């Protein structure tokens, strides 16, 4: 396994991480999900991704089961919360702690920062980041980050609003793949900022749940090698079977950083398919937007702003 330093923290994390969403899919049994997680850890993968809303809590519950029997001490555990209000964020975090059966989560991230108003709600005096700051002070969490998959400009806006509140994120999670470079590119716009600020880079959607592969322009191993070549701390990949776990570990074992010529060839090969964002529907549709379908997860708007609106 390859290990990298997580941004400006001193944490050593595996270059490949286990995506939590797939662990709660109906086609994946609880027994299989536990086997996948423990087998991944046994192979040296120590970064575990999850989220409060995955599978209505099933993913976190299954990961909690998998991390028993001494496995918790072998991993860097991450989950995400959807709440934008302090009250809702705190409630979701406490629920995640119970499901995961842990007293402390290494990294908690604000999930699905998709709208330009999200940063302002999160950093409001009644906002979610206050809940995470209090949780960190109480020893419930260690690091704070955010995620999003919609538009790099929203990520840049989130970083700007955080700076205005004298806050610096430990990590940022975003799509990084062979097609992203051609359309609303996180790689071109956000990645340089994170590298400059030494913020941990969590790459996701290296294959977009297999959608990129349907273009017929690239293979799974090529997708993983491309994302691993970027200055990522971790490439989080969905694993729903032992065969896919084998694929992920094979990608690491065979990895060497792609040369400039190899990157250029991959980008040229994917350019036409990538140009409109068709194979990155998480950017161009609401199909991947859980909080859009479930706005109640966000919690209430700040009361003082509600009062202002009602005057």
Nearest of 113, 41, 44, 32 to residue 80 by alpha carbon: 113
Task: List the beta bridge partners of residue 107.
Answer: 78, 143
Q: Tell me how far CA of residue 75 lies from CA of 63, 242, 303, in angstroms.
A: 11, 19, 39
Nearest of 192, 217, 196, 197 to residue 207 by alpha carbon: 217
Do residues 174 and 204 touch, judged by C-beta distance below 8 A? Answer: yes
Describe the crossing of helices 30-42 and 242-253 by its angle, rounded to 10 degrees: 20
What mean pLDDT is predicted for residues 280-300? 94
* Rounded Cα distance, 193 and 75, in Å: 28
* Rounded Cα distance, 165 and 162, in Å: 5
Nearest of 172, 222, 166 to residue 194 by alpha carbon: 172
Arithmetic mean of pLDDT over the chain: 96
pLDDT at position 311 is 64
**pLDDT surpasses 70 at 40:** yes
Listed in sequence order, the DSSP H helices in the chain are 30-42, 58-66, 86-100, 118-122, 128-137, 152-164, 186-189, 191-197, 220-229, 242-253, 260-274, 281-284, 290-293, 303-310
Contacts of 83 (CB under 8 A, 6+ apart): 89, 90, 91, 92, 128, 131, 297, 298, 299
What mean pLDDT is predicted for residues 168-176? 98
Rounded to a whole number of angstroms, the distance between the first and last alpha carbons of the chain is 59
Q: Which residue has the tokens 């995640």?
A: 96
**pLDDT surpasses 70 at 250:** yes
Interval 185-228: pLDDT, tens: 999 999 999 999 999 999 999 999 899 999 999 999 999 999 99
The pTM (predicted TM-score) of the whole model is 0.95
* Rounded Cα distance, 187 and 257, in Å: 16
Burial of 207-229, coded b for 16+ CB within 10 Å and e otherwise, reads bbeebbbebebbebebbbbbbbb
**pLDDT surpasses 90 at 301:** no
**pLDDT surpasses 90 at 302:** no
């Amino acid at each position: 396994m390859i290990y990298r330093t997580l941004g400006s923290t001193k944490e050593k994390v595996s270059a490949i991480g286990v995506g939590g969403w797939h662990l709660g899919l109906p086609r994946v049994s609880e027994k299989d999900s536990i086997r996948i997680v423990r087998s991944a850890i046994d192979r040296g993968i120590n970064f575990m991704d999850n989220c409060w809303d995955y599978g209505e809590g099933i993913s976190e519950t299954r990961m909690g089961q998998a991390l028993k029997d001494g496995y918790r001490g072998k991993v860097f555990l991450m989950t995400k919360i959807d709440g934008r209000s302090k009250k809702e964020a705190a409630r979701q975090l406490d629920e995640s702690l119970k499901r995961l059966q842990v007293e402390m989560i290494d990294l908690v991230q604000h999930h699905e920062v998709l709208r330009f108003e999200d940063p302002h709600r999160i950093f409001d005096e009644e906002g979610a980041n206050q809940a995470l700051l209090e949780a960190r002070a109480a020893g419930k969490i260690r690091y704070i980050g955010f995620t999003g998959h919609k538009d790099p400009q929203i990520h840049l806006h989130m970083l700007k609003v955080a700076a205005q509140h004298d806050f610096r994120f430990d990590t940022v999670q975003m799509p990084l793949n062979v097609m992203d470079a051609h359309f609303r590119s996180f790689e071109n716009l956000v990645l340089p900022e994170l590298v400059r600020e030494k913020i941990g880079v969590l790459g996701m959607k290296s294959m977009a749940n297999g959608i990129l592969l349907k273009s017929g322009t690239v293979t799974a191993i090529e997708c993983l090698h491309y994302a691993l070549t970027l200055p990522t701390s971790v490439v989080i990949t969905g694993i729903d079977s032992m065969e896919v776990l084998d694929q992920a570990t094979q990608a690491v074992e065979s990895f060497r950083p792609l040369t400039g010529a190899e990157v250029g060839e991959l980008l040229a090969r994917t350019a036409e398919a990538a140009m409109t964002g068709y194979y990155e529907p998480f950017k161009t549709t609401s199909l991947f937007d859980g909080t859009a379908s479930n706005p109640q997860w966000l919690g209430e708007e700040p009361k003082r702003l509600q009062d202002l609106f009602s005057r």
